Structure 1
Amino acid sequence: MRRTVPVRLGDRSYEVLVGPGVRASLAGVLRRLGAERAVVVSARPEEWVPDTGVETLLLPARDGERHKTLSTVEALCGEFVRFGLTRSDVVVSCGGGTTTDVVGLAAALYHRGVAVVHLPTSLLAQVDASVGGKTGVNLPEGKNLVGAFWQPSAVLCDTDHLSTLPRRELRNGFGEIARCHFIGAGDLRGLSLTEQIAASVTLKAGIVEVDERDAGIRHLLNYGHTLGHALEVATGFALRHGEAVAIGTVFAGRLAGALGRVDRARVDEHLAVVRHYGLPAALPSGVDPAALVRQMRRDKKAITGLAFVLDGPAGAELVSDVPEDVVARVLDEMPRARLDELVGDAAADAAPA
């Protein structure tokens, strides 16, 4: 079963292919782009990289937040120069969300922009990071503080790759699928994984088509992310992105309830959806709530005060100037669990799902 999701952005439009074996479409994509050479940046084994049909330089990459830095981007651009990459050539990413973000930013900056094609190999990257054109790297002060908008020329979400993922890495991707429940995708819990990915991408494509550069409703995609990003930083990225977003989603439901925006049943629905996907729902017991608030003040949406995307009578929307005392109270009322309990048993989670 395959799905094709168009992202309609005028002359920057492209398609997202979802399903088993779609990575074999890469050579055809590069042919349509007219590329004569390609640099493939892969965090996966060489056999995972399909034939490009053109002269290719294969560069190794490493997934993980600690590699999502400007120095990594600089190193990639240096390799592009040594290979002689031109603006008529193409860069291909093959890996998880951090590889997609780093390679996308390198493509956006090199020669002020060369074409990029994404082959996301993690569930998180397939449902979110590879689509929509956001690229970025971290600074010591926070996540994704340096970046650019650079739309890919195609995205190939090969679900065959997902069979090799550890259980925890699959769970990481479900964090983004869970938050889609509250921003317009509807209940995805009864669908196959391919359908869940396609539905998540379809939702994101529709939002990006209306607000490509994050000036309006694209904020909806950050549901659960304000606290999620703060938790990632506060735990030294011991919590993975989807895990932190899941906790942030539960928090968003509680905060919306505390502000009178939703009733108790809707608050409880946030917890039920997150638990359905096997995701954590409690705050790490060793994290200082005051430190989380300080980190959330650095969020890009926090222009004049704390800001969150919250559910409400008309659906999710950006809510600015949320009273800090209410945020602190909701954080204090969140259940706590040890970090090792939240992330699960590392040995068991190392096995493929």
Structure 2
Amino acid sequence: MASVPLRLRDHAYDVLIGPGARASLAEVVGRLGAGRAVVVSARPAEWVPDTGVETLLLPARDGERDKTLATVEALCRAFAGFGLTRSDVVVSCGGGTTTDVVGLAAALYHRGVPVVHLPTSLLAQVDAGVGGKTAVNLPDGKNLVGAYWQPSAVLCDTDYLSTLPPREMRNGYGEIARCHFIGAPDLRGLPVADQIAASVRLKARVVEADERDSGLRHVLNYGHTLGHALEKATGFALRHGEAVAIGTVFAGRLAGALGRIDEARTAEHLDVVRSYGLPTALPAETGPEALIGLMRHDKKAFGSLAFVLDGPRGAELVRDVPQDAVARVLGGMPRAPLAELVDAGTTDVTRS
């Protein structure tokens, strides 16, 4: 069992990673001194561990359709009906959507109640469940309404991964692949628990240095600017990790076109993404103009196109990227029918 500490100026917690990690929930709740708990779960009741205190179990659904302010309001009303107080605890049990929505509800209810995350998908374990970012979507774009609310603990039980279909595993590998370009060692071929632990260690060190996205934390959005646009453009037919994988290949090509990296490093982006069985082509149904329009809504844009790009100093946020350069790189990327990209995710991915 691996334990990764995350230490901030006024808050600290540990991320526990390994089989059976969820069994530590009652101990965590007891340490917090909570008298009651609300568990919001997108998984069957038998996968939810005992909290050790009086508990209300609320069902949830993973997926972008429920990542809305309406869901947050419904959760907060359920908290109020149960009589939840600031001295109690909220627990999420599900994928990235669940950790995001439940985290935001916990941040807002009574101006903040403790939250513990039990991420059950690979994507949530390597990224969404750690770091304290919570958000929901608006029709205008992804993650536009949110808050920073650090959990009190994160329990990444790798036994949950045995329940995932191949495409959901591939979804998580999209976040692992992008770690290759923002400071992680080469994770290809390692056991999945080691891949998760290395990804979490990287994220923990970045968050410790920049909790609120004032600088360094932007690197965690590698591949995400185009990735979020692709999710929106395809009506979320492309999963987050799949879209980030394509965005990572694009980021390498754009960095190469801008003279920031050489051809070998550009090609490395394609090689790494392919090695995880991830898509590398743009959906044929999406055009450069539409994607550029969506990317202008990205949180990092500030009125111009901005991307996290590789370069001589490593990955960093680059603002005011010329639109014509972005259009040229998008136009030069290979394309495939969306159905083909989606269907590829139903085949098995190597689980090292």
TM-score category of the 2 structures, normalised to the smaller one = over 0.9
- Looking at structure 2, the residues matched to 239 and 18 of structure 1 have their Cα atoms a distance apart, in angstroms, of 28
Are 2:275 and 1:270 aligned? no
Q: CA deviation at 1:340?
A: 1.4
Aligned partners of 1:210 and 1:55: how far apart in 2?
37
- Secondary structure, in 3 states, of the residue corresponding to 1:344? helix
CA 157–335 in structure 1, closer or farther in 2 if over 3 Å, else same: same
Answer whether contact 2:158 2:193 (CA < 8 A) is retained: yes
Q: Deviation of residue 304 (structure 1)?
A: 4.0
Report the equivalent of 1:284. 283
Aligned to 1:183: 182
Indicate the SS of the match to 2:38: strand
Q: State whether residues 38 and 90 of structure 1, in contact with CA within 8 Å, keep that contact through their aligned partners in structure 2.
A: yes
C-alpha distance in 2, partners of 1:152/1:12?
A: 9
Q: Is the 8 A contact 2:92 2:116 kept in 1?
A: yes
The residue correspondences of 1:72-83 to structure 2 (distance < 5 A) are 72-83=71-82
Select between 13-22 and 2-11 the one with higher mean Cα deviation. 2-11
How far 1:180 moved relative to its partner? 0.1
Instruction: Specify the alignment match of 2:214 in structure 1.
Output: 215
- Report the CA distance between 1:52 and its aligned residue: 0.5
Aligned partner of 2:144 in structure 1 is: 145
Q: Residue 319 and residue 348 in structure 1: after superposition, are their counterparts in 2 closer, same or farther (change >3 A)?
A: closer
Q: In 1, distance between residues paired with 2:70 and 2:313?
A: 43
Q: For 1:349 and 1:76, locate their aligned partners in 2 and report how far apart those are by CA, in whole Å.
A: 35
**Equivalents in 2 of 1:6, 1:173: separation in Å?**
22
Q: What is the Cα deviation at residue 11 of structure 1?
A: 3.2
Task: Assess, with a 3 A threshold, how the Cα gap between structure 1 residues 306 and 234 changes in structure 2: closer, same or farther.
Answer: same
Tell me whether 1:326 sits opposite 2:325 in the alignment: yes
Q: 1:299 — aligned with what?
A: 298
Moved over 4 A (4+): 345-350
1:13-162 correspondence to structure 2 within 5 Å:
13-162=12-161
Task: Tell me the distance in 2 between the aligned counterparts of 1:234 and 1:304.
Answer: 20
Letter in 1 for 2:66: H
Number of matched pairs: 351
Q: Relative to structure 1, is the Cα distance of residues 347 and 275 closer, same or farther in structure 2, using a 3 angstrom cutoff?
A: closer
Alpha-carbon spacing, 1:297–1:347, altered in 2? closer, same or farther (3 Å) = closer
Structure 1 residue 349: Cα displacement: 6.7
* Contact 1:261/1:313 (8 A) holds in 2: yes
Give me the CA root mean square deviation. 1.4
Q: For residue 191 of structure 2, what is the amino acid of its counterpart?
A: S
Paired residue secondary structure (2:154)? strand
Cα deviation 1:188-227 (Å, max 9, x = unaligned): 1131100100000000000000100111110000000000
SS at match of 1:286: coil
**Is the Cα contact below 8 Å between 1:93 and 1:100 reproduced in 2?**
yes
Q: Aligned letter for 2:120?
A: T
Aligned residue number for residue 164 of structure 1: 163
What letter is aligned with 1:197? I
SS in 2 for 1:66: helix
Question: Identity of paired residues, percent?
Answer: 78
1:314 shift after superposition: 1.2
Distance 1:285 1:5, change over 3 A: same
Structure 1 residue 10, shift from structure 2 partner: 3.1
Q: How does 1:195-214 map to 2 (within 5 A)?
A: 195-214=194-213
Any conservation in 1 of the 2:166–2:346 contact (CA below 8 Å)? no
Cα deviation, residue 348, structure 1: 5.2
Q: Distance in 2 between matches of 1:208 and 1:307?
A: 21
Q: Compared with structure 1, are the counterparts of its residues 154 and 141 closer, same or farther at alpha carbon in structure 2 (3 Å cutoff)? A: same
TM-score for the superposition, normalised by structure 2: 0.98
Listed as ranges, the matches of 1:244-255 within 5 Å are 244-255=243-254
Long gaps (5+) in structure 2: none
1:257 — aligned with what?
Answer: 256
Contact 1:304–1:320 under 8 Å retained in 2: no
Normalised by the length of structure 1, the TM-score is 0.98
Q: Deviations over 1:251-280 (max 9, x none)?
A: 000000000000111011000000000000
Where does residue 243 of structure 1 map in the other structure?
242
Cα distance in 1 for partners of 2:151, 2:128 equals 11
Deviation readout 1:77-124 (Å, 9 max, x if unpaired) = 000000000000000000000000000000000000000000000000
User: Which secondary structure state, in structure 2, belongs to the residue aligned with residue 187 of structure 1?
Assistant: coil
Shift of 1:343: 1.6
8 A Cα contact 2:42 2:93, kept in partner: yes
Q: Which deviates more, 338-347 or 229-238? A: 338-347
